[in-house]
Structure 1
Amino acid sequence: MNLRKWFFLFWTALLIGAVGSLITGLTMMLLNGEKTNGIADFMLYLLILFGSGVMISVYSQMGFFAYLILNYMGKGVFPKRGWQIVQIILTVLALLDVMFLRLFVGEGREPISDIVLGLIILAAAIVTAYVKVKQTNISALVPTLFFMIAVTAVETIGVLRIDSNAATIFIVVPLLMCNAYQMLILHKVVDASADQAVTGKVEQA
């Protein structure tokens, strides 16, 4: 991946995060019946949503590149089948962690919100994995599920500690959008860079 392709991935992911945050924030405002005091307050609210979406996107990209490094190291340490098994185990544990951990460590907490959150993450992961496999091949199934579930679970630890459903929705929706986008666009960016490298060698020859 060359620098130009990285910038393309960076800025488009920022846009996905900002749009996702705007849609989520405005939808929550409408559903809750909240109103702003005039056009100035509304524009300020939009600016806050946009900035929050950009920050969430940057956070998502940090997690994505951390995953790429982890995946590279995992392939070097484990055999191919072994690394797939490790990813599956970590994925299942991460999903169970999201859905049930706070139920056992918290007092008097309703488990339904965490279960719903886990199901949303699982659904997003399945849809992303399905599209990724259709675009590439079946070998992308486990890594995509691992990233979309395990890495997303790690990225949401901070907001889960806030123990606010509204904050969780506001963070998780654009985060899932950014994660899904990066996973689905990665092979296209890498393939394009590889094609350019091959073309350059042919022209030089």
Structure 2
Amino acid sequence: MTSRNWVKLFMTTLLIGGLTTAIVGFIVRWNEFQPYFTEFRIIDILSTTIWLIVMGFLFSVISQMGFFAYLTVHRFGLGIFKSVSLWNAVQAVLILFALFDLVYLRYVNFAKTGDTILPYFLPAVILLLGGLIVAWFKLKQTNQSAFIPALFVMIVVTLVEWVPVLRVNEKSWLYLMMFALMACNAYQLLILHKLNSRSEQDRQKRVLQSGAANDIPKNKMNKKPSI
């Protein structure tokens, strides 16, 4: 990816994180922020919006760090297992473990006497459904081998990025960070192959302009994305 496209990805993801957090923040904490609107407290509304956007920027940076860390791990995984299908199978198993741990460990650590386990399924269900939708779109835009890696990012990588809030288990922060991370990770997944393709086209144009078109390997020009 060229530096120009990387900067574009960074800034756009930053904006998505800020806007998503601002919108979700007012929804999940409406009981707290409702007086600001009913009493027309403009200063409080603006300060709260700015605060939520800044928090969204932070969530976005965490998301981007996790996403690019996964891209490195993904390459190592392909190199170690020497097979896309085998590496995808390993990731599928890790996805199942991650969803189980999200439900079971939260229930064990935070459930009070008499609580049922059912409410603890909700974040896992949201994460799974969101991941399946994004992975399906990724499959349609690229190829079948990208489905499991996309699902892994949306579930496992999001969970790893989400750990600081999961430890606290404060409901409003739980959903605030979850939706911000999901939005940022989804955008990065769905735009990555397009930016890589655009970057490759930019390089080819520069090579053609310099008169060295034969230096571009054909297999590199026609390479399909693995994620």
Is the TM value for this pair above 0.5?
A: yes
Task: Give 2:16's aligned amino acid.
Answer: I
Alignment-derived partner of residue 124 in structure 1: 130
Residue 94 of structure 2, aligned match among 81, 90, 94: 90
- Mind listing any 5+ residue stretches in structure 2 that lack a counterpart? 212-227
DSSP 3-state at the match of 2:35: coil
Q: Compute the displacement of 1:195 (Å).
A: 1.3
CA distance in 1 between counterparts of 2:131 and 2:31 reads 26
Alignment-derived partner of residue 78 in structure 1: 81
Q: Compute the displacement of 1:69 (Å).
A: 0.8
CA distance in 1 between counterparts of 2:133 and 2:31 reads 26
Q: Compute the displacement of 1:28 (Å).
A: 2.4
Q: Is the 8 A contact 2:29 2:172 kept in 1?
A: no
Q: Is the counterpart of residue 64 in structure 1 residue 105 in structure 2?
A: no
Q: Is the 8 A contact 1:113 1:165 kept in 2?
A: no
Alignment-derived partner of residue 191 in structure 1: 197
Q: Compute the displacement of 1:190 (Å).
A: 0.5
What do residues 143-202 of structure 1 show as CA deviations (whole Å, max 9, x unaligned)?
101111111111111111111111101111111000100000000010111111122222
CA distance in 1 between counterparts of 2:198 and 2:33 reads 46
CA distance in 1 between counterparts of 2:23 and 2:68 reads 26
Q: Is the 8 A contact 1:128 1:144 kept in 2?
A: yes
Q: Compute the displacement of 1:98 (Å).
A: 0.9
Task: Give 2:61's aligned amino acid.
Answer: V
CA distance in 2 between counterparts of 1:161 and 1:186 reads 31
Alignment-derived partner of residue 10 in structure 1: 10
DSSP 3-state at the match of 1:45: helix
Alignment CA distance shift 1:33-1:194 (3 Å): closer
Q: Is the counterpart of residue 142 in structure 1 residue 148 in structure 2?
A: yes
CA distance in 2 between counterparts of 1:180 and 1:103 reads 27
Alignment CA distance shift 1:43-1:57 (3 Å): same
Using the aligned pairs only, state the percent identity. 36
Q: Compute the displacement of 1:8 (Å).
A: 0.3
Q: Is the 8 A contact 1:29 1:35 kept in 2?
A: no
CA distance in 1 between counterparts of 2:162 and 2:121 reads 14
Alignment-derived partner of residue 174 in structure 1: 180
Task: Give 2:65's aligned amino acid.
Answer: M
RMSD: 1.6
CA distance in 1 between counterparts of 2:172 and 2:116 reads 15
Q: Is the 8 A contact 1:125 1:144 kept in 2?
A: yes
Give me the TM-score of the superposition, normalised by structure 1: 0.94
Task: Give 2:19's aligned amino acid.
Answer: V
CA distance in 1 between counterparts of 2:139 and 2:34 reads 41
Alignment-derived partner of residue 44 in structure 2: 41
Alignment-derived partner of residue 114 in structure 1: 120
- Mind listing any 5+ residue stretches in structure 1 that lack a counterpart? none
